[in-house]
């Protein structure tokens, strides 16, 4: 672990789910930011250079797949956890896009997300190559 606390950005249209992720991540030592929209998310990613990103791919205002593409083009080094409550095909597509751009640390989780699975995915983001999923 680094001396600085790890940074996590969680983007989910359901604030309560974001709060749940924040609780879990904070417990694991993350500093958590939860932006409201895509622009805030992008600004936060650019500013904070997070180690982990939790992203719902299906949101009413934002296209999660588009955000993943954006992250990949930016060669974002964060581990990405893609969450989906709807059609797993979206999550799968997002994951393929991320891998296609060379992002190695991608995890896909289906809602409802078991606590243990979320913790494992977040730990993988921190762990680098040796703990990657």
Partner 1 sequence: MTIPVRHGIGLRLLALILLFSTSLTLLMTAIQLYADYRLDTAAIANRLGEIERSNLQSLARSLWNLDAGQIALQLEGLLRLPDMQAMEVREAGTSVEHPLVVSVGARMNGAAIARDIPIVYDDLGTPRTIGVLHVEATLEAVYQRLVEKAAAILVDQGIKIFLTSLFILFIIHRVVTRHLADIAAFFGGYAARSGDERLALRRPPPRRPDELDRVVGGFNGLLDTVAGQRADLVAQEARARATIESLAEGVLIVGADGRIRDCNARAQALLGHTAGELVGTAMAQTIWTGVLADGSPVTSENSPSLLALRTGLPQLGVLIGVHAPAGEVRWFSVNAVPLSAGERALTGATQIVVSFEDVTELRRTQEQLVQAQKMEAVGRLTGGVAHDFNNLLSIVSGNLELLAEQLDGRPDLRDLAARALYATGRGAALTRSLLAFARKQPLQARRIDLRAAVDEVRPMLSRTLGEAIAIEVAAAADLAACEADAAQLQAALLNLVINARDAMRGGGKLTIELSNAWLDADYAAAHPEVTPGGYGCLAVSDTGVGMAPEVLRRAFEPFFTTKKAGEGSGLGLSMVYGFAKQSRGHVRIYSELGHGTTVKLYLPRSAAPAASELPPEHARPPGGSELILVVEDDPEVLRAITALLRSLGYAVREAATPTAALALLESGLPIKLLLTDVILSRDMNGRELAERALRILPELRVLYMSGYTENVIVHGERVDSSVELIEKPVQKYALALKLRSLLDKPQA
Nearest distance, CB of residue 73 and partner 1, angstroms? 27
Tell me how many degrees the CA angle 41-46-49 measures, rounded to the nearest 5: 100
The residues that bridge with 106 in the sheet, in sequence order, are: 80
Nearest distance, CB of residue 128 and partner 1, angstroms? 26
Q: Of 20 and 70, which has the nearer Cβ to partner 1?
A: 20
Q: Of 24 and 125, which has the nearer Cβ to partner 1?
A: 24
Q: Of 28 and 48, which has the nearer Cβ to partner 1?
A: 28
Which residues in this chain contact partner 1 in the complex, by CB under 8 A? Answer: 14, 16-17, 20, 23-24, 58, 85-89, 110-115, 118
Spatial strand order in the sheet of 7-11 = 31-33, 7-11, 52-56, 79-84, 106-110
Cα Rg for the chain, rounded, in angstroms? 13
Q: Residue 102 is encoded by which pair of tokens?
A: 């060379």
Say whether 64 sits in a helix, a strand or coil. Answer: helix
Nearest distance, CB of residue 46 and partner 1, angstroms? 28
Q: Of 24 and 98, which has the nearer Cβ to partner 1?
A: 24
Nearest distance, CB of residue 18 and partner 1, angstroms? 10
C-alpha torsion sign, points 99, 103, 76, 10: positive
């Amino acid at each position: 672990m680094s001396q600085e606390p790890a940074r996590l950005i969680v983007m989910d249209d359901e604030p309560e789910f974001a709060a749940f992720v924040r609780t879990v991540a904070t417990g694991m030592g993350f500093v958590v930011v939860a932006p409201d929209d895509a622009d805030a998310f992008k600004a936060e990613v650019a500013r904070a250079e997070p180690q982990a990103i939790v992203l719902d791919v299906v949101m009413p205002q934002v296209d999660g797949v588009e955000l993943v593409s954006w992250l990949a083009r930016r060669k974002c080094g964060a581990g990405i956890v893609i969450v989906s409550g709807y059609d797993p095909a979206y999550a799968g597509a997002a994951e393929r896009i991320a891998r296609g751009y060379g992002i190695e640390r991608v995890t896909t989780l289906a809602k409802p997300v078991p606590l243990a699975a979320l913790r494992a995915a977040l730990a993988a983001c921190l762990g680098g190559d040796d703990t990657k999923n």
